[in-house]
């Protein structure tokens, strides 16, 4: 069964495995809002648990915007969860009402157990924009300030923790500025932005990154819509698609490059914000994504069952034999 809530839209999600428990944290909004495009501005974070990535126990709302006024009193969007320094850490995206949600920042909360409760570290703010490396919002540049979707590595590299996030660089054509941003910390509390690990040149933005290693190679999944592709990328793939693809590198700090083709895309967008996970049932890697446009063109707002993947010669492909229709 897909992960479906009768009274809520659900979309972007992140995963944490502990023992044989598979935890998903997801963005959610009440279906009572009517228009699903309003979900981004009526959002909270939910939690569900499974043993097999197919049958889910929904645990309810676990995090939401600050009561305000605060830097995150409007939205709490996509993030990631790790266990380090003896605690669980939630990193998330926040925006505020005073800025009409146009400027994104990255927040931090902790808990003693994976089930919470989650408490903001100080006022919650972990990382703000550094204009030395990343584009600030201004009229005519882009529709918002892109500084969101933090993905954390749970172990230090060279004595530092590493955060990857969606951002845009300061120069270049509009649809080539999308980068994977990078920040470092010695303790998960004090963060410093650095230059992006993927310097762009192909897309206007790369949303919801997920960084992981397989067989000595590093992968960074991302999602985007074809309207945000560069002209060269659209030309190379017959006009482009919307969905989930990935970058490859020999080291998590890059250099990164887009893999050939596109992993899971369609027009209109069928699935979005995919993650590559280990399927406890098959023992293989799989893709999970939220269901976007249904056959009638309307937003679905559910999370898919695991979709089988083939991993050959360092490249992922959907397993067309086993993948569901």
Beta-carbon contacts of 313 under 8 Å, excluding residues fewer than 6 positions away, are: none
pLDDT tens per residue, range 95-127: 999 999 999 999 999 999 999 999 999 999 999
Question: Is-contact 264 318, C-beta < 8 A?
Answer: yes
pLDDT of residue 183: 98
Cα(220)–Cα(247) distance, integer angstroms? 5
Question: Does residue 324 have a pLDDT over 90?
Answer: no
Cα(110)–Cα(233) distance, integer angstroms? 40
Q: What is the largest CA-CA distance in the chain?
A: 52
3-state DSSP percent of the chain in helix, strand and coil, to 5: 5, 50, 40
Distances (CA, A) of 108 to 222, 227, 249: 22, 32, 27
Q: Which helix (H) or strand (E) holds 309?
A: strand 307-312
Cα(321)–Cα(113) distance, integer angstroms? 40
Question: Does residue 58 have a pLDDT over 80?
Answer: yes
Cα(174)–Cα(50) distance, integer angstroms? 41
Cα(4)–Cα(105) distance, integer angstroms? 29
Over residues 295-323, mean pLDDT: 90
**308-324: b or e for each residue (b if 16 or more CB lie within 10 Å)?**
bbeeeeeebeebeeebe
Q: Which helix (H) or strand (E) holds 243?
A: strand 242-249
Q: In the structure encoding, which two tokens stand for residue 281, read together? A: 């049932």
| pTM exceeds 0.75 for this model | yes
Beta-carbon contacts of 171 under 8 Å, excluding residues fewer than 6 positions away, are: 177
Please give the sequence-ordered ranges of beta strands (E in DSSP) within 64-113, or none if there are none. Answer: 75-84, 87-95, 105-111
pLDDT > 90: what percent of the chain?
Answer: 97
Distances (CA, A) of 148 to 2, 73, 167: 26, 15, 7
Give the model's confidence band at 68: pLDDT under 50 very low, under 70 low, under 90 confident, else very high. confident
pLDDT tens per residue, range 170-220: 999 999 999 999 999 999 999 999 999 999 999 999 999 999 999 999 999
């Amino acid at each position: 069964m897909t992960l479906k809530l009768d009274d809520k839209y659900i979309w972007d999600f992140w995963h944490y495995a502990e023992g044989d428990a598979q935890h998903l944290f997801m963005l959610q909004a009440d279906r009572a809002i009517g228009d699903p495009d309003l979900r981004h501005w009526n959002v909270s974070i939910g939690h569900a648990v499974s043993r097999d990535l197919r049958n889910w126990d929904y645990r309810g709302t676990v995090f939401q915007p600050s009561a305000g006024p605060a830097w995150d009193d409007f939205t709490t969007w996509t993030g990631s969860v790790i266990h380090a320094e003896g605690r669980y850490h939630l990193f998330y995206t926040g925006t505020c009402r005073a800025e009409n949600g146009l400027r994104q920042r990255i927040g931090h909360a902790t808990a003693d157990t994976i089930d919470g409760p989650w408490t903001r570290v100080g006022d919650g703010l972990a990382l703000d924009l550094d204009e030395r490396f990343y584009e600030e919002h201004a009229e005519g540049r882009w529709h918002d300030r892109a500084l969101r979707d933090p993905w954390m590595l749970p172990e230090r590299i060279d004595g530092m923790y590493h955060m990857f996030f969606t951002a845009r660089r300061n120069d270049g054509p509009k649809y080539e500025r999308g980068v994977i941003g990078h920040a470092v910390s010695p303790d998960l509390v004090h963060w410093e932005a650095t230059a992006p690990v993927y310097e762009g040149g192909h897309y206007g933005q790369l949303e919801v990154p997920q960084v992981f290693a397989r067989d000595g190679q590093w992968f960074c999944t991302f999602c985007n819509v074809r309207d945000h592709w560069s002209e060269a990328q659209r030309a190379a793939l017959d006009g482009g698609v919307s969905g989930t693809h990935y970058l490859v590198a020999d080291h998590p700090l890059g250099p990164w490059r887009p893999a050939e083709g596109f992993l899971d895309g369609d027009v209109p967008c069928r699935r979005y914000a995919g993650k590559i996970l280990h399927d406890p049932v098959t023992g293989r890697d799989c893709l999970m994504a939220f269901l976007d446009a249904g056959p009638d063109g309307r937003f679905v707002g559910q999370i898919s069952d695991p979709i089988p993947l083939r991993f050959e010669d360092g490249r992922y492909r959907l397993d067309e034999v086993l993948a569901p229709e």
